[in-house]
Amino acid sequence: MEIFTEITALRAFLSSQKTSNKSIGFVPTMGALHDGHLTLIKASKQQNDLTVCSIFVNPTQFNNPNDLANYPKTLEQDTRLLRSVGCEVLFCPSKEDIYPHPPVIRLSFGDLEHIMEGKFRPGHFSGVAQVVAKLLHIVEPDHAYFGQKDFQQLKIVETLVSELNFNVSIKHIPTQREPDGLAMSSRNMRLNQTQRQQAVIFYKSLLLAKKRLSEGVSFDKIQEEVLALFETQPGVKLEYLEIADVANLTSKPRVTADAVLLIAGYVGEVRLIDNLLLTE
């Protein structure tokens, strides 16, 4: 695996590969890799001649300085994992290379950036879009891979790419889960044993909400039930449980087949998110 820490060196390497007509797949990450990330890498490897994974903990998408400071960093293990699945290129740039000066351009996304994650993490999606735009310009991939685990982020990236005519096709990968249903996440590493067991409440709540919807229960009532479920467990906190249209997230679904359930909250200090398509 080729490892690059500088934009110029990565670009020189990739342009030599592109002259031999190799297709490029790109998987942007913040590191602390797990099997969810590796599923994206494997999908890219199947569909492209060369796969580039980036590891960059992007400061502009963190609204909470503690969350940024505590974000897990496991570069040595990440490198081993990427080698084990045959990733060809790792790009891990410095903060100075990505942001040589504080960025002045802000991207905004209308209602989509102010609901759910955007409401609880002001400025988050502007930061996500900023770094994704930069990375897509640096790598210029044919395909870029994103997980449905971050459903709202996926919608932001799709909006960015379609409105600004980026020459890349965005691929979605379904959420990879632990055997008990907890969505894999780098943040799970921060949970102690008890919290790890409690964390399954997010997936259980999604399943409960889906079941109650199929029984014809109103969504307001379901929100109350899920809140009550969270209140039975000390140390967990519900931020939101919402239902939205899969196409844009900004409107209510007309029929449940068009719906996605989205949930977020805390286990101790660790913030977790998850979602479930009603067609799943």
The residue at minimum Cβ distance from ligand AMP is: 147
User: According to the binding rule CB under 6 A, does residue 54 interact with ligand AMP?
Assistant: no
Q: Tell me the per-residue interface mask from 169 to 208 with ligand AMP, x by CB under 6 A, - otherwise.
A: ----x-xx------xxxx----------------------
Residue bearing tokens 């988050």: 124
Q: Which of 4, 10, 24, 36 binds ligand AMP (CB under 6 A)?
A: 36
- Tell me whether residue 173 or residue 270 sits nearer to ligand AMP (CB atom): 173
- Tell me whether residue 60 or residue 185 sits nearer to ligand AMP (CB atom): 185
User: According to the binding rule CB under 6 A, does residue 30 interact with ligand AMP?
Assistant: yes
Q: Which of 34, 37, 124, 143 is catalytic?
A: 37
- Tell me whether residue 127 or residue 147 sits nearer to ligand AMP (CB atom): 147
Question: How many residues belong to the site for ligand AMP (CB under 6 A)?
Answer: 17
User: According to the binding rule CB under 6 A, does residue 78 interact with ligand AMP?
Assistant: no
For residues 27 and 118, what is the distance between their CA atoms, to the nearest angstrom?
A: 23
Residue 167 CB coordination number (10 Å): 9
Residue bearing tokens 């009603």: 278
Residue bearing tokens 């993490």: 121
For residues 4 and 6, what is the distance between their CA atoms, to the nearest angstrom?
A: 6
- Tell me whether residue 32 or residue 222 sits nearer to ligand AMP (CB atom): 32
Q: How far is CA 19 from CA 13, 16, 23, 136, 167, in A?
A: 10, 5, 10, 18, 17
User: According to the binding rule CB under 6 A, does residue 143 interact with ligand AMP?
Assistant: no
CA dihedral 231, 237, 240, 243 (to 10 degrees): -60
User: According to the binding rule CB under 6 A, does residue 127 interact with ligand AMP?
Assistant: no
Q: Is 37 a catalytic residue?
A: yes
Closest CA to 144 of 52, 257, 273, 38: 52
**261 DSSP β-pair partners:** 243, 276
Share of the chain residues as helix, strand and coil, in percent rounded to the nearest 5: 45, 20, 35
Active-site residues, by number, are 37
Q: Which residues bind ligand AMP (CB under 6 A)?
A: 29-30, 36-37, 39-40, 146-147, 149-150, 173, 175-176, 183-186
